[in-house]
Amino acid sequence: MIVDDTGLRASILEDGLSEAGFDDIHVVPPRGGFVARIERLAPDVVLMDLGSPSRDTLEEMLVVSRALARPIAMFVDQSDDAMIGAAIDAGISAYVVDGLRKERVKPILDLAIRRFNAFARMQSELAEARTALAERKTIDRAKAILMNSRQLSEPDAYALLRSTAMNQGRRIVEVAEALITASDLLGGGA
């Protein structure tokens, strides 16, 4: 999808995409509900050519970026540090100043996709690490409850959690959460 406020620049992008082998190309002007239209069409990649984008346009692109989770490349005629920062905050994968030529579209598109995928991978890894840390804290709290209530060593408390999870066909963290909930209800939380 191309978001463009002038037909001339949109045609340059269309030509560059066509020459790169893309054929399902849509052009949307950045006016009147264009974010909803982009969301409806759910493009693989969004190319924006806005000349000098306003702060409002960048804020709308933040909404698009979060809603679509797709690579976005932005072409602008002029920029400053504040606009670059706003573009990065908006999730723009490639920000190109004064460089709109059809032969540059494919390499910039490739860059935007690679950068988006790398960022998405990092976000996924961060979410997994946070989940693992939260699960570890839950398991540690459940082990502490077992150690206090049953006078078990830490390895024995973990072994009890693990064997209970295996016997019930559940994950250890699920058993730990159930133990914590039961302990809290009985007033014996650790």
pLDDT tens by residue, 6-22: 777 788 888 888 888 88
Residue 73: predicted pLDDT: 84
DSSP character string of 45-78: -EEEEEES--HHHHHHHHHHHHHH---EEEEES-
Q: Please state which architecture CATH assigns to domain 128-186.
A: Orthogonal Bundle (1.10)
- For range 87-107, the mean pLDDT: 77
Query: Domain boundaries in the chain?
Result: 2-100, 128-186
Is pLDDT at 110 greater than 60 in this prediction? yes
Contact 35/12 with Cβ under 8 angstroms?
no
Measured distance CA(39)–CA(34) in Å, rounded: 9
SS3 for 43? Answer: coil
- For range 166-188, the mean pLDDT: 93
- pLDDT grade, residue 102 (50/70/90)? confident
pLDDT tens by residue, 33-70: 777 888 888 888 888 877 666 667 667 666 767 677 78
- For range 147-154, the mean pLDDT: 94
pTM above 0.75, yes or no: no
What is the chain's Cα-based Rg? 25
Pick the CATH number of 2-100 from 2.30.38.10, 2.40.50.140, 3.40.50.2300, 1.10.1020.10: 3.40.50.2300
**DSSP letter, residue 140:** H
- For range 117-146, the mean pLDDT: 94
Contact 93/8 with Cβ under 8 angstroms?
no
Tokens of 158: 């973990």
